[in-house]
Structure 1
């Protein structure tokens, strides 16, 4: 009898311990599952960002034996100072980048919306048309840049051949600063429009059809339906495309490598490729990190603006 009572007590005492261990394990399990992702973010996002901010405030030593010097915001000031070697080029590159983003993204969005409206119908070979316009997205940027470098060649290029067939003079697409910049924009527009088209097409196919049927009963024209129905209903899609498109436009590199490499005199260069050009020079370490921080601030600004506008849209819809 005593042995039986002792066994019952030991079993009843073990039950709370088992329940306690299960409770601790259930509470710890979500943190254990999140930890690998958290570690990845710290190693490849947070730490490089903090390192870039710190290195942007120092000036590398002339020799290995000397120590780096803390200069505060001087590297940022030098970027826009025409009396410094890097300040003579960076303002031009920075302005080029803003112009590039301000032109290519709206043009891509307008073309993508027009194509999405045309391809959101029941027509023959619809899948073929969609694939044809989306195909440039699948092509690597360096490959697209190489193809257009051949098209824009001075003597044997397709573009100048067509111009000469109409009795017009050939254009120096790669070599002249203005035309090189336009060539880079054309490659980017050709490459990105298909991706934006698919996003708009997905948004159009998810729109409620009852509002369009009601508009048809009221005698609304196609332009009125686009202006008062399609545009407002696609606001979320447009915000997403605008944010991702701007972020991608700020980070263009490959087509610059194939089309002039920013020549002549950095007049057709963009900020990220300019950063890569200066990265290999040890004396530019502080400047390169300062450019990285500026680029990061620009990208974060677009992201924050997108979140604010998205929250406002959600509020109005509710």
Structure 2
């Protein structure tokens, strides 16, 4: 086991993982992380503990649990020179942090030509799944979307401000998992420090400056997060065909253009501008102008020139301001209407 500051990782057997996934069968594959597949499976897991106490143990032995996990398999040759050392250094680093908006790494396997990371899987589906389904995304109010954005931002900020200054390198809606209560968690960043995904459409999340310089920095994550902000605003994935026609480079360039020329209503999720009688006194209506402007301004800053991009801490402050503008607007409206009714 690898001891970190906050947790202990379990070492899984390759034979157990192959049995649980039927030798990495396609039916267990739930998505891609860079060029690697991620599998969902059930594994036997012996409870972790950061102490040497016998809590959670039976007769001095760790308690056995049957858990659902996400398994990311990395072929040994992918890691390049010093692969084994890099793999275990990465594992040591991963044990030094824990955050409610980051998917937890719970174990690993290093056998034969396989390097495997085992993550918790406490998710209903990814944000990408919701964005692809109009019926699913329309259920999110502006308030809920702002909270979601804040949760993602806080998780990413935690990575950027950790002692190791961790760069995710693959922020996209498919790597944002939503739990049963729609709580957001950043998932599946791995040994590779450089995004290599060539899957159709995935380049829309990549920082154009990284594409040019090959230098991956925290501001590269900020750009990708800005793309996710626009997705949540529009209710569609950034690589939707409507954003890729006529040699367009995805949602972000189009959204910035619409914001700058005052035509942002062209791409806003229609659900956000619907006003219904039952929520006239609540903050569940569409965004007011101050909240909308603050949100779009920071999304544009995130996807602008690298030198001018905000830190994630600055992004959090702006998103909190957008939320406060929204909530206070409808609170004041509520007070005004109650006053009128009293007269």
- Please state which band the TM-score falls in when normalised by the shorter chain: under 0.3
Higher RCO by CA contacts (8 Å cutoff, separation 6 or greater): 1
More helix by share: 1
What's the TM-score once normalised by structure 2's chain length?
Answer: 0.25
What's the TM-score once normalised by structure 1's chain length?
Answer: 0.27
Larger Rg: 1
